[in-house]
């Protein structure tokens, strides 16, 4: 997938992913690749939050994604920010943009937090 994490904290996770190598047969960024980026970033945040409360294992229980724009090249950037950081559930909004800052995908991930 080529995901690179640039910033990671429970309150904000930022990462990039190349479009090349992550396309569907029509040559556009695959929606599943956007979902992988979103779940990766949200899960990083959830694990980091869970680690502060003794529940460091995050298991995704819901992921939804709305695809706004197709891309044929370049790099996308995702930013995950928390909607809810609880004792057993963490939910993140993830916004994925292209190199011009245009929104490509909006996703939401909810993770169950479990103990080790």
Strand partners, 49: none
What residues are labeled active site?
39
| Site of tokens 């709305």 | 66
Q: What SS3 state is found at 31?
A: helix
Please give the Cα distance from 69 to 9 (Å, whole number): 28
Find all residues with CB under 8 Å of 78, minimum gap 6, and list them.
14, 15, 16, 17, 37, 38, 41, 94, 95, 96, 97
The pair phi, psi for residue 100, each rounded to 5°, is -90, -5
């Amino acid at each position: 997938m080529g995901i690179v994490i640039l910033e990671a904290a429970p309150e904000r996770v930022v990462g990039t992913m190349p479009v090349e190598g992550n396309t569907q047969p029509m040559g556009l960024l695959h929606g599943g690749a956007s979902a992988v980026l979103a779940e990766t970033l949200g899960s990083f945040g959830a694990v980091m939050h869970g680690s502060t409360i003794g529940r460091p294992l995050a298991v995704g229980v819901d992921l939804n994604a709305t695809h706004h724009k197709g891309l044929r090249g370049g790099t996308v950037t995702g930013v995950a920010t928390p909607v809810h950081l609880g004792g057993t559930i963490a939910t993140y909004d993830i916004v994925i943009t292209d190199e011009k800052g245009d929104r490509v995908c909006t996703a939401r991930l909810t993770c169950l937090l479990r103990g080790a």
